[in-house]
Amino acid sequence: MKAFISYSHDDAEFLTKLHQHLAALRRQNLLETWTDREIDAGGVLDAEISAAMESADLFLLLVSSSFINSDYCYEKEFKVALDKHQKGEARIVPILIRPCDWKIEELRQFKALPEDGKPVQSKHWHDQDEAFASIAEGLRSLVQGSIKTSISSQIVVECEKRLTEPQLPFAKELLRMIMQHPNEEEQGLTEILRDSPAGLLFRSYIPNTTASGNAPSVKKSVFAPAIEELVRLGWLLQPEGNHAVKIYELNPDSRRPTV
């Protein structure tokens, strides 16, 4: 994942510390960071910064009073990040460096780091290393989650070369939810509906359990046709035996490499 770091030069010392704490992610090739420090002598500042922002899929904003006061940081870099976010092309993570009033709606809408939104420079942390470690942990979770989603999407695309894509919206959403659970023991539809309701699933989800207490209920008018389509197209296997609670499993054939 390519990350563009936007910061005020007043906070340069915090940038150095952040860069050090992201070393593990860089060494694992999970994160690639860019700042204006990458610009060599003679480079055209605006052109190189614009190119870096264009290629970034993650924007890390080092938020402080200096950042908010900077027209370049806020009006240019943050607005570019916001535009890419609204197009679904990038994620934005504010990183609170120093205590400041950042209650601006367009900025405050994003979940900030460190944990609990406590600035690096505050009494909440024993030292700055503890705060930056929390930031690194949060970014690791974000990056790994993004990779997992990307892999699951690739799996679906590869599978669709062999199996027909479902047409019902609920069936499509349901299939993608199933494909995001890579471990076989997590493939049961019961577990997925209980633990990961989201999107179209959430709107059709009824938070009640069956008499056995094992499975959530979903509107039959939406759920039944989706399951029937996924079974008919070969994505799901019919449950075997006389189960009180039916658990549909992903067809192993859907995960076989293309021959």
Which domains does the chain show, CATH number per domain?
2-149 (3.40.50.10140), 162-255 (1.10.10)
Distance of CA 192 to the CA centre of its chain: 18
pLDDT tens-digit profile, the chain (259 residues): 899 999 999 999 999 999 999 999 999 988 999 998 888 777 778 889 999 999 999 999 999 999 999 999 999 999 999 999 988 889 999 999 999 999 999 999 999 999 888 999 999 999 999 999 999 999 998 888 776 555 555 555 555 556 788 888 778 877 877 776 655 555 455 555 554 444 444 445 444 444 444 444 555 667 778 888 888 888 888 776 555 455 667 777 776 543 3
Peptide bond into 114 cis (omega under 30): yes
What residue has token string 């052109």? Answer: 47
CA distance 259 to 256: 9
CA distance 66 to 194: 45
The H or E element that residue 257 is part of is none
The rounded radius of gyration (Å) of the Cα atoms in the chain is 23
- pLDDT digit string, tens, across residues 183-193: 555 545 555 55
Q: Which residue, among 23, 24, 51, has the nearest Cα to 39 in the 3D structure?
A: 51
Whole-model pTM?
0.59
* Beta partners for residue 63, in sequence order: 96
What residue has token string 């009180």? Answer: 244
